[in-house]
Each structure stands twice: as C-alpha cells, then as structure tokens.
Amino acid sequence: MPMVLLRFGLSTLLLVVGITCSSPRQAAAQTPVSIELVLAVDTSLSVNDIEFRLQMKGIAAALRSPDVINLIASYDGVAITLIQWAGWTNKENWLPWRRLKSRQSIEALARDIENIKRDRVGNLTGIGTAIEAGLYALANNQFIGRQMKIDISGDGISNIGIEPSEARLHAVAAGVTINGLAILLNDSGLDAYYAEHVITGPGAFVIKANDHGDFARAMRFKLLRELAPAVSRYEPQNRPKYSSCSHCETAAR
C-alpha cells in the first residue's frame, strides 16, 4: 500500500475516533524520510524532577552515541518528535518535528531535549492517551515516512483514560509500530505489562531499564534496535472503523 494512502488512512482514523487537537493536516508537499519516530516520555507523579532530567539526558546521550549517529546517517532522513505525557498531554509543548541526517542536526536535537522544560500534564499514567497522541503527531506533520513508530517509555501501568490495549488497535489499523521502554524501579513486572498491553506491530519489542539512572543505556540500545533496517514493511488490510472514543479528548487537553 503506498505510504500516501497509509497516511491518509491514519488521518481519517484519528478523525473517526475523535482526537480533536486541531484540524487534520491539509494536503501539502511532504518531505520523504525513512522513519518517523515519536518519543513519548512519562512525566507523571511517579517521576520526580531528577528522574525526569535523567530521562532527557539519557535520550540526548543515546542520540549522541556514534553508533546511533552512524545509523541515522545511513538513512534518507529520520524525523523525530518528543511528547511528554501523564494523565493527558499538551500538544502545544510537544517538541517540533526534526529531520535528522547530519551529525549537526542530531546534536541540535540532543541539546534541545537535554534542556527541555518539564510539562506538568497531570499526576496519573495514561499510556493509551500517549499512544493516541503519538498517532495524532504522526498524522499531522510535514513528513511522509516509509516506517512510522511510537516509542513509549514509562515507569508504571496505565491508570487513566483509554486502555492501551484499545488504543494500540488504532495503531495496528494505521500500520504504526509501538515499542516500549519499561523502567522497573516501581514495578519489576512492568516489562511484561508492556509486552501484553502496549507494544504492537512487526518486530515490536520492550527494553528494560532498572531505574532512571539506567535509562541512557536502555534508550541507546532501544534506538539502535528501533532504527535498524526493516526486513519488510507492514501493510495493514481491512482496517476497523471506530464511531466514537470517549477518552481521546485527553490527548488534546
């Protein structure tokens, strides 16, 4: 299925399920890239300010590692955004999409992530909300990628909003892969929860971090696996239609 049609289907699906962050992207020239990747980072109450900063520094360090830089440089561009989520997510504070190719573009993104301001978006943990926000971000940007992925990282199970197992059905229908990074500090079985309820798509996986101090190592390993060349591309068929989604508005709050 051509990626233009896949992207149209993703935008249409999000309209049907009720995400109302803003009007859908109008038809316009789009920049082709190999991968579009949403980094969705937990900023709920269970993550204190020191731990949040460790996550940001960990992502920056992972991006700066030579093997990640070389992998990104081997592609025809990798587009990345970062969203913070908790009980909801505020799209006004999402990091603008960046096309990465050169070492300079990667360093600029790493620096901005390292210094990003924490967004206070509630105390609870809405993994389903994070997934649907990631889908919205993928459907509303200036890029068109051969692969679309959402990277969910967090330290607890979902306890508000749409269930992640329901939200990921929207990702399946749109051909979007979801991978997970489970921080085990508060729940030693969180990786199993992510595997059962969160991840989806061909080759989807969960990486474990023992705590927030271990985040940089886990993120580097995750990016290397996430950005590895795909053997084949997933092309969904028989997409389900959804008439309503009562919790989707949390993605736009």
The 10s digit of each residue's pLDDT in 112-160 is 999 999 999 999 999 999 999 999 999 999 999 999 999 999 999 999 9
Domain count, the chain: 1
Question: Interhelix angle for 66-73 vs 215-226, to 10°?
Answer: 20
User: pTM for the complete prediction?
Assistant: 0.83
Any idea what DSSP says for residue 160? S
The CATH number for 150's domain is 3.40.50.410
The confidence band for 252, taking pLDDT boundaries of 50, 70 and 90, is very low
Task: Check whether 48 has a pLDDT greater than 50.
Answer: yes
Length of the chain in residues, anyone? 253
Q: Which domain holds residue 221?
A: 36-231+245-252
Does 19 reside within a domain? no
pLDDT per position as a tens digit, 206-251: 999 999 999 999 999 999 999 987 643 433 333 333 333 334 444 4
Helices (H), the chain: 3-17, 49-64, 66-73, 103-114, 127-139, 164-174, 190-197, 215-226
Does 104 reside within a domain? yes
Does 18 reside within a domain? no
